[in-house]
Amino acid sequence: MKLSESLNSPLPYKWTKKNNFLRRAEFDVGGAKYGWKAMEGAMEGMWHVEFYIKNKDVDDIQGVTGTGNEFKVFATVAKITDEFLSDVKPKSIVFSAKEASRQKLYIRFAKKLASKYNMEVRTKPSSKGMSFTLFSKPAELKL
């Protein structure tokens, strides 16, 4: 399946927090509750983005959940992230993927967002597997 096809069916979501340094959204997939969060870091305009399954025993479980709804989850996460980028216009966003299968998907997703928002993508190994950074391209100098 192509990335664009897997992103065609996001589910409804709701923003639960929108301020200058924190954005949160929630959605349900197959009876499971998911959360999406973006927090502005120490430097203005630099945001850390993550999504997770919410569990009554342990909140904020990241990684492969095994629920079998990965396309619906990722389509919804992609839609939320796209809306966030359009609304906030951050200087950069950072997210990570632990599993190799997710890393391949995330790099394709990062490249798609970078193209749409005129950003660049950098990847590097991290303690969480692979870190992805999208950052605004510098404006061209006009002389």
d(CA 24, CA 18): 7
Q: What is the pTM of this model?
A: 0.84
23 in Cβ contact with 38 (< 8 Å): yes
132 in Cβ contact with 139 (< 8 Å): no
Q: Taking the alpha carbons of 106, 73, 14, 38 in that order, is the dihedral positive or negative? A: negative
d(CA 18, CA 104): 30
Tens-digit pLDDT profile for the chain (143 aa)? 455 556 678 999 999 999 999 999 999 998 889 999 999 998 889 999 999 888 755 555 555 556 667 888 989 999 999 999 999 999 999 998 888 878 888 899 999 999 999 999 999 988 778 888 999 987 654 55
37 in Cβ contact with 59 (< 8 Å): no
Helix (H), strand (E) at residue 8: none
